[in-house]
Structure 1
């Protein structure tokens, strides 16, 4: 008899292991990250173990964490896991983390540091990594083949990729496609010490202007140049003093004398007060006592995709900040923020203005407070709760009951790993591989996972659903991946038949025919049918009596399936396509309301020509309208380009784009890729001009991104999308788009569209429907 370990329920707190390749004896942004991550994870409901990189030499940052309930701080040096006093290097840290986990496995492992993540990607923690990415190449020119390969391996091994900014997430998704779908936002966390309220009072009057900098002292941070600001301001008649907090002075190999110059400026610069290193609470208290923070950096850092924690801390404290003008900073502070600076002269000008103009000071304070309001500990904890909820779905009583019924009804057969609910960390490395046989299990004690087999040659439309099913604590999933439409390993398929409670055939093709012929009595078989197969021969040869349910993605195609095949109506159910609404919901870029988008223009029935008709009408009145096309080009599909009628269609379309004065400069072709969410940030309207679609996911993805869908009335469109988005012809499409922008309705319309798609096609809603389907609860009434 096998024993069943109870499935982890909602009352059990996920156990999180946290490690950053950072020294918590030093105060800098990376050390503050470690503090914020631990606090946010604990508040989100995790039991947190923080592992330290270096021996504890000062408790300034560590002691407050030790006092938090549910938090354990582990020092490998003090525990005897590391010899000597040197900080752990990535290879050593990877070994220590793996050994700590092996003793009592964790549910998730949060790590910061690219080299460390690279070491862990091939180890036992793969699949449970929540990798915080910052130290990555931040321009296309820096992305070498080895860098891309390493980041791809890290992405493959990570369950979640935590990105500090939207800019970093979008860049990674375009440069490393494997990061798409896994990348989520986790901005810096700003936590004020207990009892601290921030700066009080208005602009300084009758005393010196107090400037403040906290952090490391390094060339690109312009800290040496900052030390000269009181002297330069004195020449402008502005009395100022500079308070500098920190004890980490950078040794620059390119400038051996930098460290000595920096220390001299700290110790003897005019108007400079060096406070040295302090606990974070004291550093923030010193900041709150000042008037203006400094985060002015070298111009080569303008392209940084990271956001300074210090800037946000100053904003929370009500201390306005001098910083570089970048697109990211403009989005946060506004284009007219008065303390943007590109040079030393700009800094002096801004500080002179703020020292003499109280109104400018007040405006700067308001903008900084507003910018920092989205980076609180509560906001960070709520983000993590959302990600934890997606990663660790609660077990379903319905699924557990279905598993028990399936187990009791199944004939005696060799028990496999799935009969025992083991901790995720000890599950087989390859869940698709058959487990070794053990003595028969005539009965099942307690809850057991429902065994789901998925079979098909192309799972691209099933990927996120597969990820979700694998994440459920009440399901075990194995995949029979066919090498081609008609090519598979019969022995492997038979093993799945012997093991699974439910088999899902993705595509109604040869895989569905084989499983219908070989399924066990009492075993459930679910087939998902796409447009591609409906008019092929396979459905006619399918033994529908062996199939429990056929899944279609829209009511229109469900009706067509019943009419075409003559299958019993109650066998055909509707579960719509999913839209990853959380991934797609991103801040729109400026000008999006004049940008149209199409995703996929091949084959010709996608009707790019009709989109061009609409674009020409729009550009007659407003040349700002632009069509962005994200797609493979038709000649990249051999099966399309070999057809003479298809080639003729596209030759005419591209000839028109080249020759039409109205289209000149108005059509942009972007490369095909997985970075759809980042691409949609620039799109305000998503077009669907097809002759025929089974669902057409592009408008739904656009809606989830906050774009307005604009569709022609292809058959069944009104069973999927609200009629308000459906138009009679290209001219009506253009008129609607123009009116929406001209009348200022774009914002309201896009929010309505987003609300609609979340209610119908959000990933969690579709996953819920699939859970019910696999547990045997979904019927045609689920249409």
Structure 2
């Protein structure tokens, strides 16, 4: 299949700003990943700065609004967001793109309201407000609309992705990492600085980039006894008239400053490569940026160091002791450049920058895009015919547990999917349910409840019925009332619960299928935050059988050995569930636990409750050990998700735990759990143990392989091996 992609960046095609560079590199990377790509420009370009590099790239066509069959006359600043989306939609009606890749929040908001593009948008969200103050209700609402309409939200860095997920719940599961790809040719580190010291800047010239201030640097360096030249490449961006006049005057008339004007990216990088040190120096109010600037990354690929502001982002990238951090004031930048003139400092800084740049190669970006394309555009399952698709209905009162499967089935050629979401165990649209019972080739019931009994009663000859059973139903009569002869397979997430269900309802063993929870290792596997090895995590502490009290016992034991241990609990509260809070024994359990935390010297400062929400992957970054302390679990997805994130699982020996997790993580008492944690920390085994845990989950429960097993069961009644995937 030839994959067709359209790329639109809300950018001036004659500038060198980040949006223009993004559009160029995205079109090139998609072509390298196997897509036939159209790059749509915001306006007719006056130069070939953006397009020259794409002229020889196969499978990339460049189009501006005033050419082709759907011509638009844009305003002086190019297409408005409304014009851009209308033009994209008209072109798409002819070519039917498999994906539409957008950058620019204003345009993405308009596109999100286009039903014609829904589900095919891949939206770059690098221009969101970087601070909580900027995430106003209006901005969150816009980003929610964008997330719901997008197949993927493309994030340049992990901090950006986690910030987005923490503020926009709809982004969780859709936000993926696609770091910038450096087009600069890799060069060895420079031998050292020269005289005069040649300082370079190549990028957008905007108010946040300290343009007039950087022109002061040669004079400030001369006062320190360092002869220097400043070479600036770029066209002035939009700003206030007063600032624009001041910046242009400074660039044109300051001694020892050479303004090369706007150039193509390739020419700009060539000029930068002739310098001894680069600048990526911005105003203090830009310190909250959530992704590294290209001006901070590309010098490393050219073999030269860069002067940057000291921010947490760059400390993670270059190290806290990187020698060329600069204060926002010109004197601070001059001091850093003076240090760059020392050969030993120059060598160290150039090596740090080269190592950082090596993490952003074009090959990595292309491989990431290929992986995303495989996820978004899977082939038709074996045994299906896209012209006569298999009709699949998924029914139940709560389908969230099957969300990944539903999204996967919805995107499969050869499968037509419809949902029957019951409002409650006995409340549903009877007309819809009867319609789907008559329509579907295969019915999948999430939970073994009244809806499963309904579809068993209305099962047609030749129709297949699959029922996924959880722990909850074993406390009800529904499994015993189900006509098992009408059911083709009962799916359980573990061997232990498959056996319990079979005994509970007297079902034949050959109708039991074990399909574990699918764990999205790719989404969960993220760098841990500093100090994570001293943080225990509990994900879900309600109802009382989850045994929050046992987690507190483990923490108490550990804090007796080292006061750095803490416990993070991400959960709904018991009073959020009426059926829990109305039971005296449940209320007593939590009242005792919370009173214990308040009154204990070891616990009061060491337990943090975080609100329930889908931002689990971001939350797990600070958790080094994930606890599973419950009395009874069927699979305990939380422990598997924690392990996939790189947290070490610490599992109570609940019945059947050894059929889900390796015995190395399972412990028979609180002391053994605490001993296991402390031995890993004090024995310097944290990285090795968490790598082993992640590898175990990836091998047994990785989401792609579990989805593949589900598809085989649905399409061809092909059952997994007795031990699961």
Superposition TM-score tier, normalisation by shorter sequence: over 0.9
Task: Show the counterpart of 1:358.
Answer: 343
Normalised by the size of structure 1, how large is the TM-score? Answer: 0.90
Q: 1:641 to 1:55 in 2, by over 3 A?
A: same
Paired residues in the alignment total 719
Report the alpha carbon displacement of residue 396 of structure 1 after superposing the two structures with TM.
2.5
Pick from 39, 43, 60: which aligns with 1:50? 39
SS at match of 2:58: coil
Stretch deviating more after TM superposition (598-607 or 85-94): 85-94
Report the alpha carbon displacement of residue 199 of structure 1 after superposing the two structures with TM.
6.5
Q: Distance in 2 between matches of 1:280 and 1:201?
A: 21
Task: Show the counterpart of 1:204.
Answer: 193
Q: 1:380 to 1:780 in 2, by over 3 A?
A: closer
Matched, 1:70 2:59: yes
What does 1:443-592 align with in structure 2 at a 5 Å threshold?
Answer: 448-592=388-532
Please tell me whether the aligned partners of residues 570 and 779 of structure 1 are also in contact (alpha carbons under 8 angstroms).
no
SS at match of 2:630: coil
Matched, 1:717 2:708: no
**RMSD after superposition:** 1.4
SS at match of 2:236: coil
What does 1:94-243 align with in structure 2 at a 5 Å threshold?
Answer: 94-123=85-114, 124-192=116-184, 196-198=185-187, 201-205=190-194, 207-243=195-231
SS at match of 1:461: helix
Q: Distance in 1 between matches of 2:218 and 2:395?
A: 70
Task: Show the counterpart of 2:235.
Answer: 247
Task: Show the counterpart of 1:81.
Answer: 71
Pick from 84, 100, 118: which aligns with 1:93? 84
Q: 1:169 to 1:21 in 2, by over 3 A?
A: same
Report the alpha carbon displacement of residue 734 of structure 1 after superposing the two structures with TM.
0.7
Q: Distance in 2 between matches of 1:746 and 1:302?
A: 32
Q: Distance in 1 between matches of 2:104 and 2:178?
A: 15
Please tell me whether the aligned partners of residues 570 and 780 of structure 1 are also in contact (alpha carbons under 8 angstroms).
no
Report the alpha carbon displacement of residue 656 of structure 1 after superposing the two structures with TM.
0.9
Report the alpha carbon displacement of residue 757 of structure 1 after superposing the two structures with TM.
0.2
Please tell me whether the aligned partners of residues 609 and 653 of structure 1 are also in contact (alpha carbons under 8 angstroms).
yes
Task: Show the counterpart of 2:592.
Answer: 652
SS at match of 1:323: strand
Report the alpha carbon displacement of residue 85 of structure 1 after superposing the two structures with TM.
6.2
Q: Distance in 2 between matches of 1:636 and 1:773?
A: 37
Normalised by the size of structure 2, how large is the TM-score? Answer: 0.97
SS at match of 1:682: coil
Matched, 1:302 2:291: no
What does 1:563-642 align with in structure 2 at a 5 Å threshold?
Answer: 563-642=503-582
Please tell me whether the aligned partners of residues 199 and 318 of structure 1 are also in contact (alpha carbons under 8 angstroms).
yes
Task: Show the counterpart of 1:8.
Answer: none
Please tell me whether the aligned partners of residues 410 and 417 of structure 2 are also in contact (alpha carbons under 8 angstroms).
yes
Please tell me whether the aligned partners of residues 215 and 248 of structure 1 are also in contact (alpha carbons under 8 angstroms).
no
Report the alpha carbon displacement of residue 364 of structure 1 after superposing the two structures with TM.
0.3
Q: Distance in 1 between matches of 2:408 and 2:437?
A: 22
Please tell me whether the aligned partners of residues 230 and 258 of structure 2 are also in contact (alpha carbons under 8 angstroms).
yes
Matched, 1:388 2:373: yes
Task: Show the counterpart of 2:263.
Answer: 278
SS at match of 1:781: coil
Task: Show the counterpart of 2:718.
Answer: 777
Pick from 298, 323, 339: which aligns with 2:308? 323
Deviation per CA, 1:54-74, whole angstroms, max 9, x where unpaired?
102111211221321111112
Report the alpha carbon displacement of residue 340 of structure 1 after superposing the two structures with TM.
1.0
Task: Show the counterpart of 1:60.
Answer: 49
Deviation per CA, 1:353-385, whole angstroms, max 9, x where unpaired?
221x21111110011011111111101001111
Matched, 1:689 2:629: yes
Please tell me whether the aligned partners of residues 190 and 347 of structure 2 are also in contact (alpha carbons under 8 angstroms).
no
Q: Distance in 1 between matches of 2:134 and 2:559?
A: 38
Please tell me whether the aligned partners of residues 545 and 630 of structure 2 are also in contact (alpha carbons under 8 angstroms).
yes
SS at match of 2:528: coil
Q: Distance in 2 between matches of 1:269 and 1:95?
A: 46
Stretch deviating more after TM superposition (117-126 or 63-72): 63-72
Q: Distance in 1 between matches of 2:74 and 2:644?
A: 53
Q: Distance in 2 between matches of 1:568 and 1:608?
A: 37
Task: Show the counterpart of 1:38.
Answer: 27
Stretch deviating more after TM superposition (74-83 or 625-634): 74-83
Q: Distance in 1 between matches of 2:402 and 2:490?
A: 15
Report the alpha carbon displacement of residue 314 of structure 1 after superposing the two structures with TM.
1.0
Q: Distance in 1 between matches of 2:29 and 2:625?
A: 36
Report the alpha carbon displacement of residue 183 of structure 1 after superposing the two structures with TM.
0.3
Pick from 342, 346, 358: which aligns with 1:373? 358
Task: Show the counterpart of 1:406.
Answer: none
SS at match of 1:458: coil
Stretch deviating more after TM superposition (683-692 or 346-355): 346-355
Q: Distance in 2 between matches of 1:139 and 1:637?
A: 33
SS at match of 2:700: helix
Q: Distance in 1 between matches of 2:600 and 2:489?
A: 51
Q: Distance in 1 between matches of 2:294 and 2:287?
A: 16
Q: Distance in 1 between matches of 2:171 and 2:250?
A: 44
Task: Return 5+ residue gaps in structure 1 as ranges.
Answer: 1-11, 404-420, 422-446
Please tell me whether the aligned partners of residues 199 and 289 of structure 1 are also in contact (alpha carbons under 8 angstroms).
no
SS at match of 1:557: helix
SS at match of 2:563: coil
Task: Show the counterpart of 2:601.
Answer: 661
Report the alpha carbon displacement of residue 736 of structure 1 after superposing the two structures with TM.
0.8
User: After the TM superposition, which parts of structure 1 deviate over 6 Å for at least 4 consecutive aligned residues?
Assistant: none
Please tell me whether the aligned partners of residues 39 and 377 of structure 1 are also in contact (alpha carbons under 8 angstroms).
no
Task: Show the counterpart of 1:263.
Answer: 248
